Amino acid sequence: MHEIQPSQASGSKAARLRELLAGPSVVRAVGAHNGLTAKLVQRAGFEAVWASSFEISASHGLPDASLVTMTQYLDATTTMDATTDIPVIADCDTGFGGPLNVAYTMRCYERAGIAALCIEDKLFPKMNSFADTGQDLLPTEEFALKIKNGKEAQTDPDTLLIARTEALIAGMEVSEALDRAHAYVTAGADAVLVHSKSRRPAEVLEFASRWDSNIPLVAVPTTYSTVTETELYDAGFRLVIYANHGLRAAVKGVQDVLGELSGTDRAQAVEERIVPMADVFALQGMRSAFRTKP
């Protein structure tokens, strides 16, 4: 089993992410689905962007059910990476198919300069983890082969491949999640994301207490939202992903403003609820590109 070490290389976002994961504090990533939301993540002070498959699917008006193609995900992720200075972690669902698909995915994302890829051990096509439906997992050995193929296709030693186990989502015991995670580390995974839809953090904290590897753990506290970053770090989690909070905030904000606007007859009614155009120009880089003549 290998341990995350600070990279000896310099400059790449993948190397920077490795340095952060080996550092003295938790690394925080937030979900995004385009360049603008990725910029907002960076502006808010977070260390990484999570190129969320849920958010990207939602931005297309589609369910998070393997309907969006790898090319569409990659295009969105590349835009996020190009518009920010912080590492981007790509949510690649099940790797878009079998072991050969994972190898191809690794090559494509790595050529685009993406710092890390995350794949999960569900069957393809997958359904969102919080959907009210059954969740079927691949046999452990088959998913380990995906991890192995992905790592063998890798050319930059700093690129990270995160193995995500959905064992707890599927209603399995913590022991099964641990067995799967250890097999994925043996296959070459650089980090392990253990996902849970419990309202309390007990099962992910139990997982961490029984984790006997130096490979870093990743948490996604969407449902167990009362847990603190300090508690997670002390338990052994080195990366915390707020996977969909930006999109959910945007939906609420747009719904509220448009609902109010639809009940009035002038734009001024919502002026205090929206940012000035200058703020959007700043996010776009318009102020430097289009200076007003004196």
Provide the residue ranges of all domains of the chain, joining segments of one domain with +: 13-246, 251-289
> Quick one: angle between helices 174-186 and 140-153, nearest 10?
30
**What whole-number distance in Å separates Cα of residue 173 and Cα of residue 96?**
27
Measured distance CA(63)–CA(87) in Å, rounded: 26
- Is-contact 68 59, C-beta < 8 A? no
Tokens coding 32:
């995004």
Residue 287 has a pLDDT of 64
d(CA 208, CA 178): 9
> Per-residue confidence at 6, pLDDT binned at 50, 70, 90?
low
Classify residue 29 by burial, with Cβ atoms within 10 Å: 0-12, 13-18, 19+.
buried
Q: Is 64 one of the catalytic residues?
A: yes
Name the CATH code of domain 13-246 (choices 3.30.200.20, 3.40.140.10, 3.20.20.60, 3.40.50.300).
3.20.20.60
For residues 76 and 33, give the distance between their C-alpha atoms in angstroms, rounded to a whole number.
Answer: 7
Q: Which two tokens stand for residue 201?
A: 């953090």
Query: How confident is the model over 58-82, as pLDDT tens digits?
Result: 999 998 888 999 999 999 999 999 9
Does the structure show a pLDDT above 60 at 20? yes
Catalytic residue among 64, 81, 121, 190: 64
79-124 pLDDT, tens per residue?
999 999 999 999 999 999 999 999 999 999 999 999 999 999 999 8
pLDDT digit string, tens, across residues 116-149? 999 999 998 787 887 777 788 999 999 999 999 9
**Quick one: 145 exposed, middle or buried, by C-beta within 10 A (0-12, 13-18, 19+)?**
middle
| Cis peptide preceding 294, ω within 30 of 0 | no
pTM of the complete model: 0.92
Report whether pLDDT(170) > 80.
yes
pLDDT at 285: 86
As beta bridge partners, residue 26 has: none
